[in-house]
Amino acid sequence: MEQDGEKGLFRSIFAPLFPLLGEIFAATLVINILAFAIPVFVLQVYDRVIAQAGLSTLQGLVIGMAGVIIFDFVLRQARSGLLQHAAMRIDATLAKRLFEKFTRIPLRILEHRPSAFWQSLFHDVDNIRTALSGIAAILLADLPFSVIGIVLIVALAKPLAWALLIIVPLFILLAFVSSLSARSSTTEERSATMRRDALVSEMIANRTTVKALGLGSYLGTIWEERQARTIDSSIQKAARADRYHNLAKTLLLSSTVTLTGFGAIAIINQELTVGALIAANMLVSRILQPLNQLVLQWKALSAARQSFHRVKKVLDYPEDSQNATLDLPRPQGKIILEGVSYSFGDQENAPVLKGVTASLGASGLHAIVGPNGSGKSTLLKLMRGLYTPQAGRILLDEGDMIQFSEAEKLNWFGYLPQDTRLLSGTIKDNLSMGITVPSDETIAKATKTIGLHDEIMAMKNGYSTQVGEHGENLSGGLRQRLALARTLVNDPVVLLLDEPSNNLDSHAEMALARLLKKLSKSRTVIMVTHSMTLLEAADSIMVLERGQIRAGGKARDVLSRLRGARP
Ligand SMILES: Nc1ncnc2c1ncn2[C@@H]1O[C@H](COP(=O)(O)OP(=O)(O)OP(=O)(O)O)[C@@H](O)[C@H]1O
């Protein structure tokens, strides 16, 4: 099954390149035929020109060889160009597929792996391109044509042909053993590099905290250990590759001595001419050189093979459903939770949510409260369809959330995460990047609703203001309100807000409470909050504790019960 999938991906990537690969094959065939002209030339010079003082033959041979050398150069240049072109096309196809896949993989899988893992996949595509356009690919392309050399040796120097039966399999065995060793050392090196890169990317993402808390020396110790591991695995990989390469060189030298020794005996026995021995030696090295190089290049090929395997594995991950099967009408926005349970990862992890049952909306302002870690944010992500419950169902109106496509959920839900981040670009970019057909009117409508439009217009660059990486050029409060406006641009029917009053002062918090109350007249607004101002504006409150509903009902009743329960 796995094999089939891999072949399938291979075929789908290489099939459009068949005409190009055909040209590469033809060029390689001619290059390899031309390569055998030199040994034949040498044979002729020794056995005819020198033996018979045939200067005119020599003249003809030299002119012919000059033509061969020029043609060989032109063909090699053309083949390199074609290989580069094929590798670029493979890179472009694979990288595009990987990028699209990344945007479609369910959040649970994305969260399961560190960011360094996802970043390294794009380096994997680079690895594949480099291997396919480099010397390793040329060697592989040349390899099958060694058969021509073997046939020529049998024709020119029959008494030496038996030696090839020993030497060539020895080289193939060496290349095979070297490939096994390259595979394991590439895996070790990659895992060490990934651990180091994970630390570096976390450190860069949190550079303010690193600076403010003086974490330099703490992180420095961890970095040194990981960097040392990376260097160590790199050195070990190189040492293993060198060992096999040196072995291959020794084998090459031994082959020359063996062939010359037995060749000399054959000449003495008059079974071979001097020219044939020299030509045979040239032919053997012509066959063995690529095999020798291949032993060295195997680490690049092995790395590319493993990269392809990893990319393929990720391309096989499941996807969020993308396209709607029916053109459904806009829902009312009623959210029903039926015995919803959810746990992160393995079985031994205690479920974060246990049999949560509730009905929220349609319309109204609903709050979810509870201690830290009680599962509030997880429940909000489940309602947005970012996670799928392991037991129970979540319904939007009458429909199970599972059946809705990502496009439908994007249209119907506005979701504000707890840790809101903007992306590099302008204010306008950030407000319009989630909409299929952005218009200035819809953007301005959203910012006016939040009361942000005038504030943005008063800025020097207005909607063209650059927000910086993660929105760091803006104040926390402005970032939060822009993120809120972003949830409104699609005019969603359900608003899911995780701690919407984060970073807001009391004045902005009161304005937000009024705004949410107004919005909740025509849509369902569900918020996770600890803000008393927002809770007092809510219609209903659900209290979560250790993943279960401890209390729920009208906000007034729940608040008075909670106040009464306080010591
Ligand atoms: N992506 C994740 N992978 C693994 N465990 C997670 C993940 N997200 C949350 N958890 C765990 O699930 C539990 C509930 O987390 P959640 O963020 O839903 O709680 P919360 O009530 O929103 O907490 P807070 O009020 O602190 O934001 C916690 O124990 C948390 O460690």
- Which tens digit of pLDDT belongs to each residue from 240-276? 888 888 888 888 888 888 888 888 898 898 888 888 8
Q: Whose CA is nearest to atom 9 of ligand 1?
A: 378
What are the Cα distances from residue 463, in Å, to 57, 377, 434, 435, 439?
81, 31, 16, 16, 13
- How does pLDDT run across 372-431, given as a tens digit for each residue? 999 999 999 999 999 999 999 999 998 899 888 888 888 899 999 998 888 888 999 899
Q: What is the pLDDT of residue 3?
A: 45
Q: Whose CA is nearest to atom 12 of ligand 1?
A: 352
Q: What is the pLDDT of residue 544?
A: 95
Task: Give the number of other CB atoms < 10 A from CB of residue 90.
Answer: 20
What are the Cα distances from residue 33, in Å, to 26, 36, 75, 148?
11, 6, 12, 8
111 lines ligand 1 (CB under 6 A): yes
Q: What is the pLDDT of residue 437?
A: 67
Position with higher pLDDT, 438 vs 157: 157
User: Distance between CA 539 and CA 553 in Å, rounded?
Assistant: 9
234 burial via Cβ count (<10 Å: 0-12, 13-18, 19+): middle
- How does pLDDT run across 149-185, given as a tens digit for each residue? 788 888 888 888 888 788 888 888 887 888 788 778 8
Ligand 1 site-directed mutation target among 109, 113, 352, most atoms within 8 Å of CB? 352
Q: What is the pLDDT of residue 548?
A: 94
Percent of the chain predicted with pLDDT > 90: 32
User: Distance between CA 253 and CA 206 in Å, rounded?
Assistant: 56
Angle at 153 between CA 150 and CA 156, to 5 degrees: 150
pLDDT at 532 over 70: yes
**β-bridge mates for residue 551, sequence order:** 543
Ligand 1 site-directed mutation target among 343, 348, 378, most atoms within 8 Å of CB? 378
Single-letter residue type at 60: G
pLDDT at 552 over 70: yes
pLDDT band at 2 (very low <50, low <70, confident <90, very high): very low
* Mean pLDDT computed over 350-368: 92
Q: Rounded to 5 degrees, what are φ and ψ at 452?
A: -105, -20
Q: What is the pLDDT of residue 549?
A: 94
pLDDT at 347 over 60: no
pTM of the model: 0.76
Contact 342, 381 (CB under 8 A): no
Single-letter residue type at 489: V
Among 50-54, 434-438, 446-450, 465-469, the minimum mean pLDDT is found in: 434-438
Position with higher pLDDT, 422 vs 3: 422
Tell which residue, 123, 564, 556, 523, has the closest CA to residue 361.
Answer: 523
Q: Whose CA is nearest to atom 5 of ligand 1?
A: 344
Contact 535, 554 (CB under 8 A): no
Percent of the chain predicted with pLDDT > 70: 96
- How does pLDDT run across 311-325, given as a tens digit for each residue? 999 999 988 876 666
2 lines ligand 1 (CB under 6 A): no
Tokens of 194: 């990934």
Position with higher pLDDT, 533 vs 201: 533
* Mean pLDDT computed over 56-80: 90
pLDDT, averaged across the chain: 86
- Of the ranges 201-205, 209-213, 223-227, 288-292, the best mean pLDDT one: 223-227
